[in-house]
Amino acid sequence: MSGMPIQIAGIPLHPLIVHAPIVLVPLFVLLVLLYVVIPPIRRHIGWAVFTLTILAPATVFLARLSGEEFRTAKIFADAATEINKHEGYSTVLFWLLVAIAPITWLFAALERGRRTARARREDSYTPVASDGDDDSATTRKLSASDDDPASKGRVIVMVVLGLVMLGLAGVSAYYAYKTGDSGARMAWEDTPLDK
């Protein structure tokens, strides 16, 4: 198979594989936005965000590999400039997704620590004796700083990481669009459908 891209049922692999990042990257961007901005749903979508930190860059990587092979096809011999732009966009997208993964994992670890400290705080009560001669006692909740001295620092770091995640996710969305748009234009411009 020299010079020919891998095919499935007569269709080159690249046009088939690109559908995975077309779906997964925008889904990842949306879930990162929700995960950072709406704290109550973090517990429910955290597994999906974590999974997509691995799947989104993996699918972009596979699409890039199949694209490199597809590039050798003779039909694209005169489209070197467009292919280079398309490949450049996908390279930036891949590295953005790789960069956001560890930041997301750190944010998730801090979120888990915040939830754990909050649960401990809610379960901890200390008795406070009343002023009268009766033996009744009231209870009070511990303040956040009583059992979690890192709470303020954790919140500050989470805010900074959240802003970085939102920025990277936004730029990733832009490059996902540019990659897909440039690929679609190469595939569909100057076709009978255009005329």
Per-residue pLDDT at 80: 75
DSSP 143: P
Mutual angle of helices 151-188 and 19-37, in 10-degree steps: 150
Please give the Cα distance from 169 to 176 (Å, whole number): 10
Per-residue pLDDT at 171: 98
C-alpha distance from residue 190 to each of 15, 59, 97, 103, 194 (Å)? 18, 28, 32, 42, 6
Per-residue pLDDT at 102: 97
As given in the structure block, the two tokens for residue 39 are 């704290």
- Sequence-separated (6 or more) residues with CB below 8 Å from residue 76: 70, 83, 186
Please give the Cα distance from 16 to 36 (Å, whole number): 32
User: For residue 35, which amino acid is it?
Assistant: Y
As given in the structure block, the two tokens for residue 194 are 């255009």
Per-residue pLDDT at 130: 53
pLDDT in tens, the chain (195 residues): 445 556 677 677 777 888 999 999 999 999 999 999 999 999 999 999 999 999 999 999 999 988 877 776 656 666 778 888 989 999 999 999 999 999 999 999 999 988 888 777 777 655 555 555 554 444 454 454 455 667 788 889 999 999 999 999 999 999 999 999 988 888 777 554 444
**Tally of residues, the chain:** 195
How many Cβ atoms are within 10 Å of 160's Cβ, its own excluded? 12
Per-residue pLDDT at 187: 76
DSSP state letters, 148-176: -TTHHHHHHHHHHHHHHHHHHHHHHHHHH
Give the predicted TM-score (pTM) of the model: 0.77
As given in the structure block, the two tokens for residue 193 are 């459908």
Backbone torsion region of residue 10, taken as left when φ is above 0, otherwise alpha when ψ lies between -120 and 50, otherwise beta: left
